[in-house]
């Protein structure tokens, strides 16, 4: 049956999407999203058993929380990069666990006569 093949393809897309999200590889997600939408639209026209719909919904919800976490991480990184660009100190730790702080040099304007 054609819908069985599409269901398996959609499940594989969800698994690939999860794998890419966990690896932090976000580039392939655009391609997967287009194919996922295409398969979802095609399957929406056929009558699927409730257990199949529930399984697909669970896979989608699982990945949705991963996508939200990835978005939160990206926003947090953007904020931190902005802080560093504005001169906020960068804190690191040595091998022995000692905290070190690196500050960006403050640029001042010197006037010469």
**pLDDT, tens digit, for every residue of 54-105?**
999 999 999 999 999 999 999 999 999 998 888 888 888 888 988 888 766 5
Q: Can you say whether residue 97 is alpha, beta or left, with left for phi > 0 and alpha for psi between -120 and 50 degrees?
A: left
Is pLDDT at 22 greater than 70 in this prediction? Answer: yes
pLDDT at 62: 95
pLDDT at 100: 84
pLDDT at 65: 95
Average pLDDT over residues 25-39: 93
Which residue carries 């804190």 as its tokens?
Answer: 91
Q: Can you say whether residue 49 is alpha, beta or left, with left for phi > 0 and alpha for psi between -120 and 50 degrees?
A: beta
pLDDT at 113: 66
Is pLDDT at 3 greater than 60 in this prediction? Answer: yes
Sign of the alpha-carbon torsion through 93, 88, 67, 19: negative
Average pLDDT over residues 11-34: 94
pLDDT at 105: 59
User: Residue 1 — pLDDT band, cuts 50, 70, 90?
Assistant: low
């Amino acid at each position: 049956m054609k819908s069985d093949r599409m269901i398996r393809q959609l499940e594989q897309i969800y698994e690939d999407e999860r794998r890419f999200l966990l690896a932090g590889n976000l580039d392939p997600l655009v391609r997967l999203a287009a194919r996922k939408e295409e398969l979802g639209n095609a399957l929406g026209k056929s009558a699927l058993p409730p257990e199949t719909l529930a399984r697909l919904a669970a896979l989608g919800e699982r990945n949705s929380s991963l996508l939200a976490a990835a978005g939160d991480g990206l926003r947090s990184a953007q904020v931190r990069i902005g802080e560093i660009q504005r001169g906020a100190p960068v804190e690191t730790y040595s091998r022995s666990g000692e905290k070190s702080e690196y500050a960006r040099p403050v640029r001042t304007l010197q006037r010469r006569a």
